[in-house]
Amino acid sequence: MSVFEAPDYDGHEQVVFVNEPAAGLRAIIAIHNTNQGPALGGCRIWPYASEAEAVRDVLRLARGMTYKAAMAKVKLGGGKSVIIADPYTQKTPELLHAMGRWIDGLNERYITGEDIGTNPMDMAEIKRETRCVSCLREEDGGYGDPAPMTALGVLQAIGAGVERAFGKTDLNGVHVALQGVGNVGFNLCRLLSEAGARLTVGDVLADNAERAVAAFGAEAVEADAIYDVEAEVFAPCAMGSVLNDDTVGRLKAKVVAGAANNQLAEDRHGDALAERGIVYLPDYVANGGGLICCEAEWY
């Protein structure tokens, strides 16, 4: 099957397949839309089970970045890149440098940044080969990790959802079931805790969940059990497609707002949430704070 025939192809302007065996690099760069400016989107490193899975992810993520940039009214378009590798065992400086060279060859049509499996230190390595990088530390010429700004935006979205669903104008005592306690999720836990919310967390990495338990007094549950928690808010902050045929019916929450990209497995799952009376804050609006920070850094 060609990219043009892929179910998630949506008029993407450019899709680049990268193979550089000497550096251990297998990657895909997708540019969805550049009407508003150069395409910006993070570089995700993940051990995809298949090339088809990686293609689906990068196409969906790039499209989501276009929506996010449009809603945030920034001078950027939508793009994304994925590297097919294990970020814990296969990420090397050589791999990142090679990725930088391929990005540089796109003549500033695509700007990368951090995502799952990458961090600001990785961006500094990529920057050795291209200026088309955001999410850099201050000492490397950037504005620092955008995760706190992403988390701040999600906090505001949760507050808006709670007001809409319950008529409550603060988060004190509100129970939030948070899926994924990585960089953004941990920052969101901090903000929610400061606002007086009650936290239940789940993460495929037990250490992440336990860190939130120790820091914020959260309750931890098994990763898959997070959908069943009796909470007012469900905050997905991990991978995409978590709202699907298997999970929408399990939710006890009346508000869904989180930092994960592409939370809906299919558009119809947004209708399924509405039919259940669940207030859904679209991910590309709720998680736009980091993109706004990256735009300021780039320009």
Active site residues: 80
Tell me the C-alpha distance between 93 and 170, whole Å: 45
Give the number of other CB atoms < 10 A from CB of residue 78. 29
The residues pairing with 39 across neighbouring beta strands, listed in sequence order, are: 77, 110
DSSP letters for 238-256: SSS--BSTTTGGG---SEE
Q: Is the separation of the CB atoms in 282 and 257 below 8 Å?
A: no
**What residue type is 264 in one-letter code?**
L
Q: CA distances (Å), 101 to each of 111, 173, 222, 251, in order?
A: 12, 49, 41, 44
Q: Where do we find the tokens 């050589």?
A: 94
Q: What are phi and psi of 40, to 5 degrees?
A: -120, 135
DSSP 75: S
Largest CA distance in the chain: 58
Token representation of residue 238: 């991990």
Virtual CA dihedral for 223, 226, 228, 231, nearest 10 degrees?
Answer: 170
DSSP code at position 264: B
User: What Å distances lie between residue 241 and 38, 51, 58, 245, 264, CA to CA?
Assistant: 26, 17, 13, 10, 5
